[in-house]
């Protein structure tokens, strides 16, 4: 179904809205006194509208969460219906949407029971706590190139530079290196490495004391640290390693789950089952705030006779759960995972062609509609276009070009993502990719020492 972008009237007071926001509210991950924030007034399908009346192609699904696109009519109806019936029930009450959603999540993940949170950070906090309660062990192994959230525990569990300002954070986190084949931390090539990225974890386990490690927490597929798609045998080997030492495997599917890669969970591409899955974002496609910590049968059984030391006023919020139930039904009824796989295969070809064509594209990685371009100054040396944790004038110009053409894209360090809503059409995908190609050509001119015409 085509969802044409309807251009709204400009908001007369867009400037006032931005000013008021800046004066009285605080924005995530930013210095507060900078440029005025952009104003958003609405959206439809793969597009959203700004305060000046421009229509933007959303190539980032907002924060890689709006999987069913903007203002899906079925979602609006389902939320309104639940609001009319019952807006709130305390977390100790059983409600219809909560039970329905729990059952559906058990079916699609192959796990047993869900503890509901309000987002991904809280889901990871609870996963860590549950792993510690169940195993009686303290330490959690996580990876360097990872992000697990912005609360104290989930931020400490993260590996990327966002954790630095809150260090030393929460005790007990031990970090290991990632399956990053383009820049293998062990200097190996994927076909002859013997998967040192897994054997290295075993060495760390032995050095830390196997009986002290509660869980290994990894992103299903690493998202905001450069979309690291693991080699096919990485997860089977990691699963076996966890089993060997009685360590729980927690996969954070907050970004990679719910159709982003064309399956319910990214790990389903690799034929393994984690002990705990955390999710949020694509669970409701962002229409209502909801996260989930889904546990295996043995963990669920443990809590039949042991206290679950935790709770949230809004755990199992009926409107959020009703939104999720409808969202999951939309995925199935509209064949959105199939669309993600089909258009994802096409997107993969387009990205490979860009890698062949543009000097600045060092590597491309993709699974479904979850993809990234890794940009370099020189393909031979692989020198990044911007340093890890930083930016560069070229990355700034690339982002500015996309903004000027009203393509909303996520870029960070030397990475540029393509993560459109799963409802996107081929024509919309082509339109956005054409602008990406202009931006890459611009970067090629810049790194060749030319002056950009842009």
58, 178, 252, 363: residue in contact with ligand PLP (rule CB under 6 A):
252
Give the helix, strand, coil percentages of the chain, each rounded to 5.
40, 15, 40
Paired with 373 in beta bridges are: 364, 416
Number of other residues whose CB lies within 10 A of the CB of residue 42: 13
- Please give the C-alpha separations between residue 374 and each of 133, 227, 416, in angstroms, as whole numbers: 40, 9, 7
Residue window 4-43: x/- pattern of binding to ligand PLP, with contact defined by CB under 6 A = ----------------------------------------
Query: If binding is defined by CB under 6 A, does position 255 make contact with ligand PLP?
Result: yes
Paired with 372 in beta bridges are: 365, 417
Query: If binding is defined by CB under 6 A, does position 61 make contact with ligand PLP?
Result: no
Gap between the Cα atoms of 54 and 33, Å rounded: 25
CB of 255 to ligand PLP, least distance (A): 4
Number of other residues whose CB lies within 10 A of the CB of residue 110: 15
CB of 193 to ligand PLP, least distance (A): 25
* CB-CB contact of 243 with 252 (8 Å): no
CB of 454 to ligand PLP, least distance (A): 30
CB of 253 to ligand PLP, least distance (A): 8
Identify which of residues 68 and 255 has a Cβ nearer to ligand PLP in the complex. Answer: 255
Identify which of residues 327 and 445 has a Cβ nearer to ligand PLP in the complex. Answer: 327
Only segment of 104-112, 145-153, 194-202, 360-368 that touches ligand PLP (CB under 6 A): 145-153
Paired with 418 in beta bridges are: 371
Query: If binding is defined by CB under 6 A, does position 120 make contact with ligand PLP?
Result: yes
Query: If binding is defined by CB under 6 A, does position 274 make contact with ligand PLP?
Result: no
55, 121, 261, 445: residue in contact with ligand PLP (rule CB under 6 A):
121
43, 45, 51, 119: residue in contact with ligand PLP (rule CB under 6 A):
119
Only segment of 128-136, 199-207, 247-255, 374-382 that touches ligand PLP (CB under 6 A): 247-255
**Among 169, 166, 97, 176, residue whose Cα is nearest residue 142:** 176
CB of 7 to ligand PLP, least distance (A): 30
49, 147, 366, 413: residue in contact with ligand PLP (rule CB under 6 A):
147
Query: If binding is defined by CB under 6 A, does position 163 make contact with ligand PLP?
Result: no
Query: If binding is defined by CB under 6 A, does position 286 make contact with ligand PLP?
Result: no
Gap between the Cα atoms of 57 and 49, Å rounded: 9
Q: Rounded to 10 degrees, what is the CA torsion of 408, 412, 417, 420?
A: -40
Residue window 287-316: x/- pattern of binding to ligand PLP, with contact defined by CB under 6 A = ------------------------------
* CB-CB contact of 121 with 151 (8 Å): yes
Cis status of the peptide bond prior to 168, with omega within 30 of 0: yes
Identify which of residues 82 and 278 has a Cβ nearer to ligand PLP in the complex. Answer: 278
Is 218 exposed, middle or buried (CB count within 10 Å of its CB: 0-12, 13-18, 19+)? buried
223, 259, 274, 420: residue in contact with ligand PLP (rule CB under 6 A):
223
CB of 109 to ligand PLP, least distance (A): 16
CB of 123 to ligand PLP, least distance (A): 7
Q: Are strands 361-367 and 407-408 parallel, antiparallel or unpaired?
A: unpaired
Q: Rounded to 10 degrees, what is the CA torsion of 375, 377, 383, 386?
A: -60
CA angle centred on 50, ends 48 and 54, rounded to 5°: 85
Element (H, E) at 174: strand 173-176
How many residues bind ligand PLP (CB under 6 A)? The answer is 14
CA angle centred on 422, ends 145 and 148, rounded to 5°: 25
Query: If binding is defined by CB under 6 A, does position 280 make contact with ligand PLP?
Result: yes
Identify which of residues 227 and 376 has a Cβ nearer to ligand PLP in the complex. Answer: 227
Identify which of residues 145 and 237 has a Cβ nearer to ligand PLP in the complex. Answer: 145
* CB-CB contact of 258 with 291 (8 Å): no
What is the sign of the dihedral through the CA atoms of 390, 393, 397 and 403? positive
What is the phi/psi pair of residue 395, to 5°?
-65, -35
Gap between the Cα atoms of 41 and 48, Å rounded: 8
125, 219, 374, 428: residue in contact with ligand PLP (rule CB under 6 A):
219
Query: If binding is defined by CB under 6 A, does position 224 make contact with ligand PLP?
Result: yes
Only segment of 2-10, 105-113, 192-200, 252-260 that touches ligand PLP (CB under 6 A): 252-260
CB of 30 to ligand PLP, least distance (A): 15
Query: If binding is defined by CB under 6 A, does position 148 make contact with ligand PLP?
Result: yes
Binding footprint of ligand PLP on the chain (CB under 6 A): 119-121, 124, 147-149, 219, 223-224, 252, 254-255, 280
């Amino acid at each position: 179904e085509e969802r044409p972008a309807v251009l709204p009237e400009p908001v007369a007071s867009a400037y006032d809205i931005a000013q008021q926001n800046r004066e009285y509210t605080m924005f995530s991950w930013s210095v507060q006194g900078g440029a005025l924030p952009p104003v958003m007034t609405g959206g439809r399908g793969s597009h959203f509208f700004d305060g000046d009346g421009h229509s933007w192609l959303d190539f980032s699904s907002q924060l890689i969460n709006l999987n069913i696109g903007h203002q899906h009519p079925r979602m609006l109806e389902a939320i309104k219906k639940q609001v009319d019936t019952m807006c709130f029930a305390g977390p100790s009450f059983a409600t219809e949407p909560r039970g329905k959603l729990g059952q559906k999540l058990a079916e699609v993940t192959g796990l047993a029971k869900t503890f509901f949170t309000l987002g991904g950070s809280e889901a990871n906090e609870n996963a860590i706590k549950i792993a510690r309660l169940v195993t009686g062990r303290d330490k959690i192994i996580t990876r360097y190139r990872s992000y697990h959230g912005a609360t104290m525990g989930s931020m400490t569990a993260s590996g990327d530079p966002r954790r630095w300002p809150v260090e030393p954070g929460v005790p007990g986190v031990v970090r290991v290196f990632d399956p990053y084949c383009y820049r293998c931390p062990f200097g190996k090539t994927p076909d002859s490495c013997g998967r040192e990225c897994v054997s290295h974890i075993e060495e760390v386990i032995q050095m830390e004391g196997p009986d002290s490690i509660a869980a290994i927490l990894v992103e299903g597929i690493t998202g905001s640290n450069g979309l690291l798609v693991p080699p096919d045998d990485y997860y089977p080997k990691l699963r076996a390693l966890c089993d060997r030492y009685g360590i729980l495997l927690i996969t954070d599917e907050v970004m990679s789950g719910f159709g982003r890669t064309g399956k319910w969970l990214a790990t389903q591409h690799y034929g393994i089952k984690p002990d705990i899955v955390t999710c949020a974002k694509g669970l409701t496609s962002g229409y209502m705030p909801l996260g989930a910590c889904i546990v295996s049968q043995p963990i669920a059984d443990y809590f039949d006779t042991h206290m679950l030391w935790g709770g949230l006023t809004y755990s199992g919020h009926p409107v959020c759960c009703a939104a999720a139930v409808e969202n999951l039904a939309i995925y199935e009824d509209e064949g959105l995972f199939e669309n993600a796989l089909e258009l994802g295969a096409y997107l993969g070809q387009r990205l490979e062609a860009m890698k062949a064509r543009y000097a600045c594209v060092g590597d491309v990685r993709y699974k479904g509609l979850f993809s990234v371009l890794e940009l370099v100054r020189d393909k031979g040396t692989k020198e990044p276009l911007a340093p890890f944790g930083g930016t560069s004038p070229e990355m700034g110009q690339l982002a500015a070009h996309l903004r000027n053409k009203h393509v909303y894209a996520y870029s960070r360090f030397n990475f540029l993502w393509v993560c459109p809503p799963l409802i996107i059409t081929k024509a919309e995908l082509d339109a956005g990719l054409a602008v990406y190609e202009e931006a890459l050509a611009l970067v090629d001119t810049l790194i060749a020492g030319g002056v950009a015409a842009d």
